[in-house]
Structure 1
């Protein structure tokens, strides 16, 4: 797959600026937003969208921006993928909701069957569907506690797992996710992550031994229900652990009867150049939490895992009014079919090579770029003060503002706010990604 289907055929795949960014109509809508929407709901780039697809978003002022954010890794197959749109339209015409816990339907079952088939491992599996990544992670913890009879949960430095009370406790970063919202759920502990850029030569197995030592001393395996980890951290900075770190953790968990939970909310569904990021090192989690790219922009999430663990909760212990909504299930089945039949895993690798080649070349010329990392279409640029590893969040914000002004949607992340994260839709055509990187290189020359 070299040039993907880009979605709505009428939407030109081009960067086009007809006003300043944001334009006058977007600024008008931003003022209305301030008067109507809670201040706690922020926006990164206040351009108000009227159409999107392939690799662009078009705003109310007629500007067409190159999308390097994918709605935070959601619109993997594009915002207006025809297969997804047709599946959702057909389901809307049939029914929009009954609640699976009241009168069930086959879409939910088909999504569960598909996830049982495609997630890592050949063991017997079960799946439960929810609405968001945070819900999936929280339910994975509930399931692990029911299966083990233990309470403690371990997450990692730089982790992000959601905004519910339990997942805020598991999330490492205070602002903006946790500040002022406590007290948080108890029995959540934190272990050190493998962060090669900041680990000064600590390899994956050594980093795993360091984490396990902390867990043994501070928690104790006999008290531990689950270890929950993002195979590549998302909000924490697209931190790719050193080779051997994840396999060593998973092996220790198996030996101790601890449930190993992979949070693949951001890394799943071809994003990293494998169907799931765990596949890269052949890691088979006991439970895997998925969301974001699963349903082409409709709210859906899942926990999939070993049948004996997934079946541990009592009947009625899992669920929710909208979990596995029929529209979202129709979208998910279309997304999975699109990924499998249109070569999106290979496409992610192609995009990743283009991203890493250009950005590594830029790093060689610019000492403010401390690290370029990632896999597939999940790539980060960590910005530092030259000659150090000291984070430079101010420079990061200047780069984002300059890129936005030139028609690029670019996201930031990282514990210190000093990381650019690039998440192009896998439906983005080659020429658009090349142009985006040209613009970004130019921005670094100007800032």
Structure 2
């Protein structure tokens, strides 16, 4: 591994960070084996990509069948039916009011870029509002919308203009939804007339920002404000989508329909594909050629996405996400008396997190989170941290993880948290 890491360091930009020094050789469901044959339990799922597990048989079969037909024509040149059919499925599944239409792209950042393009074109307005702690990608628009400087914005120069950030409601840090709404009202009075705002973009559960869930009622209040000022509401479901939160889309927890929804990650089950779905009249605003991309809606990604949607329904993965999340949160709750550093355990479905502070204080304990991650890796469990302060462990195992493997992982997690305390 050391020799391969040296080669990696010599060949690849250091800007491409790596959480582990594991080099994958093969993977199956919730397990990964490295080049030396070591087995790891994967609680990252490629950052919420393989919700249906590594190499799900139905996904692999769908992709193999598509490989035997064709791999690329560019839908804008020679279209294909399964692209149309997938759009029809998403138009029916994504929460929305009235007829919807869809476009496909390749990455989550690209979906966000297209959503902003569509919103600006439809409203003929330039400004966009997002939230502190939010993450929307690494392109320049994505960086501008993202509410976290390190490592995403630092040193990359001026961001896109007319992007405005608001506090995200978070009771743990004393930001109620009333405070967040009041900040928006102050913004409209002091700095930005609402008639200049094209869209408000929000994650129903902040991903990189720390797995903080928008409180009940907040989305309804945003919807009312957007409707009052003819502003579009964009739900960024790139990380929350496809059964991760116990619903196919996290906005279903709020009973609110966005005007535009961005999605990627879990949609392709390991194959690159993203999408924007929204109100038909909004989606039809750009002229032909204004949207698209050479690889947008690649046939292999489209085939995989059809299989992913089938698996979620056939295997009841929304319900399974709820059950897995409850087991995980109960296990973590059982540690609170012995681990005073645990300040919060949260998350809908199986999009869960545990946050650490310095014991007896409100100061973030970044070191504790990192030690837990490192101790888990020693025991062959892959974990990810997140949060503006880096003091949160997030849990994103495949929803298809076998019960025995899940129990094994929970035992390792217990040991790792206790070991991290020293």
What is the CA distance between 1:215 and its match in structure 2?
Answer: 4.4
Higher alpha-carbon deviation: 306-315 or 32-41: 32-41
Q: Distance in 1 between matches of 2:44 and 2:7?
A: 24
What is the CA distance between 1:29 and its match in structure 2?
Answer: 1.9
2:4 to 9, 29, 33: 29
Q: Distance in 2 between matches of 1:364 and 1:210?
A: 37
Query: 1:151 corresponds to which residue?
Result: 126
Q: Secondary structure at the match of 2:411?
A: helix
Q: Spell out the pairing of 1:261-340 with structure 2 (5 A cutoff).
A: 261-340=234-313
Q: In the comparison of the two structures, how many residue pairs are matched?
A: 420
Query: 2:40 corresponds to which residue?
Result: 65
CA contact (8 A) 2:122 2:286 kept: yes
What is the CA distance between 1:217 and its match in structure 2?
Answer: 3.2
1:47 to 3, 11, 22: 22
Q: Distance in 1 between matches of 2:25 and 2:141?
A: 35
Cα deviation code 1:98-134 (max 9, x no counterpart): 1011111112111111110100025100000001000
Q: Spell out the pairing of 1:39-188 with structure 2 (5 A cutoff).
A: 39-188=14-163
What is the CA distance between 1:205 and its match in structure 2?
Answer: 4.7
Q: Distance in 2 between matches of 1:357 and 1:211?
A: 36
CA contact (8 A) 1:360 1:372 kept: yes
Cα deviation code 1:355-377 (max 9, x no counterpart): 11111222243110111110111
Asked if 1:193 is matched to 2:175, the reply is: no
What is the CA distance between 1:28 and its match in structure 2?
Answer: 2.7
Q: Secondary structure at the match of 2:190?
A: helix
Q: Distance in 1 between matches of 2:315 and 2:413?
A: 29
Higher alpha-carbon deviation: 231-240 or 361-370: 361-370
Cα deviation code 1:305-332 (max 9, x no counterpart): 0001111111110010000000100000
Q: Distance in 1 between matches of 2:381 and 2:181?
A: 38
CA contact (8 A) 1:168 1:184 kept: yes
Q: Distance in 2 between matches of 1:51 and 1:154?
A: 42
Q: Distance in 2 between matches of 1:43 and 1:99?
A: 32
CA contact (8 A) 1:377 1:426 kept: yes
Q: Distance in 2 between matches of 1:378 and 1:226?
A: 26
CA contact (8 A) 1:235 1:414 kept: yes
Cα deviation code 1:201-237 (max 9, x no counterpart): x3x3554344343345332211100000000000000
CA contact (8 A) 1:228 1:260 kept: yes
Q: For the aligned residues, what is the CA RMSD?
A: 1.3
Asked if 1:406 is matched to 2:379, the reply is: yes
CA contact (8 A) 1:212 1:249 kept: no
CA contact (8 A) 1:196 1:241 kept: no
Query: 1:14 corresponds to which residue?
Result: none
Asked if 1:368 is matched to 2:341, the reply is: yes
Please list every run of at least 4 consecutive aligned residues from structure 1 whose deviation after the TM superposition is greater than 6 angstroms. none
Q: Distance in 2 between matches of 1:370 and 1:215?
A: 35
TM-score using structure 1 length: 0.92
Query: 1:19 corresponds to which residue?
Result: none
Compared with structure 1, are the counterparts of its residues 375 and 60 closer, same or farther at alpha carbon in structure 2 (3 Å cutoff)?
Answer: same
CA contact (8 A) 1:363 1:371 kept: no
2:388 to 398, 415, 434: 415
Q: Distance in 2 between matches of 1:313 and 1:436?
A: 48
Q: Distance in 1 between matches of 2:178 and 2:366?
A: 31
Q: Spell out the pairing of 1:178-257 with structure 2 (5 A cutoff).
A: 178-199=153-174, 202=176, 204-205=177-178, 207-257=180-230
Structure 1, unaligned runs of 5 or more: 1-25
Compared with structure 1, are the counterparts of its residues 297 and 215 closer, same or farther at alpha carbon in structure 2 (3 Å cutoff)?
Answer: farther
What is the CA distance between 1:171 and its match in structure 2?
Answer: 0.8
Query: 1:15 corresponds to which residue?
Result: none
What is the CA distance between 1:419 and its match in structure 2?
Answer: 0.6
Q: Secondary structure at the match of 1:403?
A: helix
Q: Spell out the pairing of 1:362-401 with structure 2 (5 A cutoff).
A: 362-401=335-374
Q: Distance in 2 between matches of 1:78 and 1:215?
A: 45
CA contact (8 A) 2:96 2:259 kept: no
Q: Distance in 1 between matches of 2:368 and 2:210?
A: 16
